[in-house]
Structure 1
Amino acid sequence: MIRHLPDLLIEPVILMALTEDLGRAGDVTAQACIPEGARMRASFVARKPGVLAGIPCVRLSVLAMDPEAEIALRLTDGEAFEAGAVLAEVEADARAFLAAERTALNLLGRLCGVATLTRAYVEAVEGTRARIADTRKTTPGLRALEKHAVLCGGGVNHRFGLDDAILIKDNHIAVCGGVAEAIRRAKAAVGHLVKVEVEVDGPEQLDEALAERPDVIMLDNFTLPMLREAVERAKASSFGCPVLEASGGVTLETVRGIAETGVDVISVGALTHSAPSLDIGLDVV
């Protein structure tokens, strides 16, 4: 089930984008060319197949400029569509609609792109136990929207920020003086509801981490043989097997092999930092 993204989280992004676009004088082209009070009807149409995410951005962008606009959303977030699919239909004040058009298309195309790429990764590991997760490598200001798009594509969310889970990485370990010491400090500092994950870069650090019983171990930039060995070592450990996450340079070409090593989660920064915007256009009816 896809988590609903509240309007409260989307509206500030839309208002910022509209403010940036309208500048000091508003849409001078529409004001010059379109008679005041004129109305128009148009459809948001997919030029390429994909997975829908961010359709509320259409509704909220248009309503921000014309509160009386009539908007029909034809698909819901998470649905797949083919090229030519009508995603939404709008009737509104023409000047207002044209001012909102680019903001709506920019956000919708961006989020559909993330959802569509995520779906490709999810399908690539189908039949394995691995789940595809995002990272914090998101567009500044768009994290909630982009992570929602990952859910729409069938992926799962990693932590949202620095404040909702502990993730001990190589630089933390270097400052603390070792994996074990970093984990011990983390566990002593937080309550029982805060997850503790540690990144390791080889078998020695893996063994050190297993002995401290973190909730999650990130196997960073491990080769396939190293991943298979890590899974076996963790399963055989007398300390219990935590969640194992593979990370580092994952691509569509390599993700299946990584999943087949038996890891639980594969985190993929490319879902958000490299997803191309999906081509969606506006056709006047």
Structure 2
Amino acid sequence: MSSPDLADLLPSSYKSLITSWLAEDCPSLDPAGYVVGSSPRTATLFAKSNGILAGLPFFTEVFTQCGCTVDWHLSEGAAVAPTPGNPIRVATVSGPTRQLLLGERVALNALARCSGVATASNEMVELVRGAGYTGILAGTRKTTPGFRVVEKYGMLVGGADAHRHDLSSMIMLKDNHIWARGSITEAVKAARKVGGFALKIEVEVDSEEGADEAIEAGADVVMLDNFGGEGLKIAAKAIRGRWEGKKGVLLECSGGLTRENVRECRYHFDERDSPGRTACRFLSQNRSLDILSATTMSPTNTAAWLTAEKSASLTVGPAPYTPPSPTQLVVRNHALGINLVDWAIQQMGSDLFSWVQYPTILGSDIAGEVVEVGSSVTRFKPGDRVVSAASGLTDGTTQGAFQTYSIVTETMTSPIPASVAYSQAAVIPLAVSTAASGLFQKDYLALQHPTVPPKPTGETLLIWGGATSVGCNAIQLAVAAGYEVITTSSPKNFDYLRGLGASAVFDYASPTVTADIIAAFVGKKSAGALAIGAADPVVNVGVTKACLDVVIGSEGRKFVAMAVHFDPAQLPEGVGAKFIWGSGLKDNEVGPAVFEHFLPKALEEGVYKCAPEPLEGGHGLESIQEAFALSMKGVSAQKVVVTL
């Protein structure tokens, strides 16, 4: 295998050759190009079978002429050995969709052919070297018309000698030349007259006598054509014996050399008496090898990156496009919800979540259009309108929401009807996930699951912080699960929360709020409480105490699902509490119960509202940082949303 510097050998004419290939493939209009359009996308090239990678300059030039860019992940001459089901990524190509497809087949043909020749050449070289032959192993001029520069280049990458490239680079006199001129001697004299000292002369002979005549006439190379087996060994040894020390000449054998018989170069053409003065020729095209798969098209992705811990601003830039696993979908985002946790991570870094790696893509709430689905996904197809919760915080630095294309799981995705705008739907994913985890998971309140219509339980639940994003959704989920809901907010949001299903709403700032709620629970069976805090830790202490006092003072379950940090050591005896992680439901039965069995029907029938109301925070990934600032000012019964 060779150096990538071999590209420096190529003549400038190879670019015009590639232009002719493209013109041959598309001599007129391109209807298929019209169909796909010119939106920017990225194609990934994979190697699916073993071989030597060769032909990078040809592949690159095809796409350069098509207005695309190529990023190579492997070098010229690299040996690729993928395992079954695990192809090796070779290159990525970016550009307009139509131009990618215009160059795809031409580029693949050139790369596959060149790689096939390099692979065959390398195998032949390894075979003869393994047998101890140290002479020259060369190719032939029997190449594909119009493709010679590609195939000769492949021989060099594979480690073989390319032999003469064309009729002008060496004079080869074969039987027809000799017959036409009358003799070997006359043919060599005529060739030397016009070729001068710069061109070597090779003469093809079929006898020792012919070899002697050619050497005497001044041939530089004598090709022993079709001297098989032991006859080749005897002839070569005899010729050397007669001319050693008199005239320097290279002996070459040719004729039907293959992978199966090329070892005979070592046993029947032993050059140990004059190292480097022999050559074996082989037909590299005897073996066809296509080691490269077709390209897999993927869109060009962009993200708002948090490049370092506590970085003051997000940086918008290129991001990888992640193909879906069997249970995943790729969504083209049209709206993104902004949550407190997003800007809190930016401000606090490892003081909040120590496991976050940087650079990272933040965000959980997305609404958009499905562009690709995994092999096991049955509920969705490309073009479907969906709302989903991205899981970058737990599943990887590139799987967050704040990008053009997000990867999500089927279990955390719901279709949205045409009556619901993307900006409306984007308010619910993390809020629904957090609320559902606290309400329905077995290690929290373990309430019965929501249905359409609800199945009454006769129990009552306290949700502290009803006007928050989590609170608005917790109210609706609990009511749909058959529970009466008592909640808290500022007086301005009382009517809004009653509209979401709360039976009673209390002013959280009232000095008697805890006693008032306990009184409201008289004669009712408590299902426990869901405590939703604020950004102010002092306020959160009061939230925790109030909820604990209510469950202690009421008949029923003594458990508080905490969407607020608390000190477990301060829990009263007989009362349970646990901090809510909103991502757990994707791995248990609660995720499908909400996103698959409840939300689709509830949204379609209009019995579930996208709450709280969206507050426009800007358009485009560049506006997310400003949307953070808007969210930090504090909003109630609203969530900041960025559209894309």
Q: Which residue number corresponds to residue 56 of structure 2?
A: 55
Q: Which amino acid aligns with 1:19?
A: A
The residue that corresponds to 2:27 in the other structure is 23
- 1:12 pairs with one of 3, 9, 16: 16
Distance 1:130 1:234, change over 3 A: same
SS of 2:43's partner is strand
Match of 2:225 in 1: 220
**Residue aligning to 2:259:** 252
Code of the aligned partner of 1:20? E
User: Which letter does structure 1 place at the counterpart of 2:12?
Assistant: L
Partner of 1:77: 76
Cα separation, 2, equivalents of 1:37 and 1:189: 55
Q: CA deviation at 1:262?
A: 2.1
Contact 1:169/1:199 (CA < 8 Å) preserved in 2? yes
Match of 1:266 among 280, 283, 300: 280
SS at match of 1:211: helix
Q: Does the 8 Å contact 2:45/2:296 carry over to 1?
A: yes
Deviation readout 1:193-213 (Å, 9 max, x if unpaired): 221111110122122223334
Which of 179, 196, 208 is the equivalent residue of 1:174?
A: 179
1:7 to partner: Cα distance: 7.0
Between the two structures, name the one with larger relative contact order (CA 8 Å, sep ≥ 6).
1
Q: In the alignment, is residue 112 of structure 1 matched against residue 115 of structure 2? A: yes
Secondary structure of 2:196's counterpart equals coil
Q: Aligned-pair distance for 1:108?
A: 0.6
Residues 206, 230 of structure 1: 8 Å contact kept: no
The corresponding residue for 1:90 is: 93
Deviation at 1:105, TM superposition (A): 0.7
Matched-pair contact (CA < 8 Å) for 1:224–1:258: no
1:219-238 alignment runs, 5 A limit:
219-238=224-243
Counterpart contact for 1:43–1:88, Cα < 8 Å: yes
Question: 2:149 corresponds to which residue?
Answer: 144
Distance 1:25 1:7 in 2: 30
The residue number in structure 1 matching 2:535 is none
Change (3 A) 1:195 1:37: closer
Task: Tell whether the 8 Å contact from 1:40 to 1:93 is kept in structure 2 after alignment.
Answer: yes
Residue deviations 1:142-189 (CA, integer Å, cap 9, x gap): 212211110000001211111121111111111222222322332344
Determine the C-alpha separation between the residues in 2 that align with 1:37 and 1:181.
63
Take 1:19 and 1:190, find their aligned partners in 2: how far apart are those partners?
Answer: 37
Kindly provide the amino acid, as one letter, of the partner of residue 173 in structure 2.
I
Deviations 1:218-238 (A, max 9, x none): 000111222112221222124
For residues 168 and 132 of structure 1, what CA distance do their matches in structure 2 show?
A: 20
Q: Which residue of 2 aligns with 1:131?
A: 136
Rounded Cα–Cα distance in structure 2 between residues aligned with 1:223 and 1:179: 22
The question of whether the paired residues in 2 share the 8 Å contact of 1:234 and 1:242 is answered with no
Deviates more, 1:83-92 or 1:100-109: 83-92
Matched AA of 1:77: E
Indicate if the aligned counterparts of 2:49 and 2:81 stay in contact, CA closer than 8 A: yes
TM-score by structure 1 length? Answer: 0.90
Query: Are residues 37 and 212 of structure 1, via their aligned partners in 2, closer, same or farther at CA, if it must alter by over 3 Å?
Result: closer
Letter matched to residue 109 of structure 1: A
Amino acid at match of 1:107: A
Corresponding letter in the other structure for 1:80:
A
Q: TM-score, normalised by structure 2?
A: 0.41
Alignment CA distance shift 1:91-1:253 (3 Å): same
CA drift at 1:241? 4.6
Deviation of the 1:44 alpha carbon: 1.0
Task: Classify 1:98/1:190 alpha carbon distance in 2 versus 1 (closer, same or farther; 3 Å).
Answer: closer
- From the superposition, tell whether residues 104 and 129 of structure 1 become closer, same or farther in structure 2 (CA, over 3 Å): same
Report the alpha carbon displacement of residue 103 of structure 1 after superposing the two structures with TM.
Answer: 0.8
- Contact in 2 for aligned 1:74/1:86 (Cα 8 Å): yes
Q: Which has the higher helix share?
A: 1
% identical equivalent positions: 32
Contact 2:51 2:291 in 1 (8 A): no
Does the Cα contact within 8 Å between 1:41 and 1:92 map onto a contact in 2? yes
CA distance in 2, matches of 1:200, 1:70: 50
Separation in 2 of the partners of 1:58 and 1:143?
15
Describe the shift of the 1:187–1:56 C-alpha distance in structure 2 as closer, same or farther (beyond 3 A). closer
Amino acid at match of 1:40: R
Local SS of the residue matching 1:255: coil
Counterpart contact for 1:46–1:85, Cα < 8 Å:
yes
- Give the gaps of 5 or more residues in structure 2: 272-277, 299-644
CA distance in 1, matches of 2:257, 2:232: 13
Mapped to 1, the partners of 2:13 and 2:164 lie a distance apart of 17
Q: Secondary structure at the match of 1:125?
A: helix
The Cα offsets for residues 2-42 of structure 1, whole Å up to 9 and x where unpaired, read as 4324372332222112112223112x12312x2x4412112
The one-letter amino acid paired with 1:244 is L
Equivalent in the alignment of 2:297 = 284
Q: What is the rounded CA distance, in whole Å, between the counterparts of 1:6 and 1:186 in structure 2? A: 28
* Cα displacement string for residues 94-148 of structure 1 (whole angstroms, at most 9, x for unaligned residues): 1111111111111111111111111111111102122221111111112122111
2:287 to 261, 275, 283: 275
CA RMSD across the alignment? 1.9
Structure 1, unaligned runs of 5 or more: none
Q: Distance in 1 between matches of 2:127 and 2:111?
A: 24
Distance 1:82 1:123 in 2: 17
Higher-Rg structure is 2
- Measured after TM superposition, the shift of residue 58 of structure 1 is 2.3
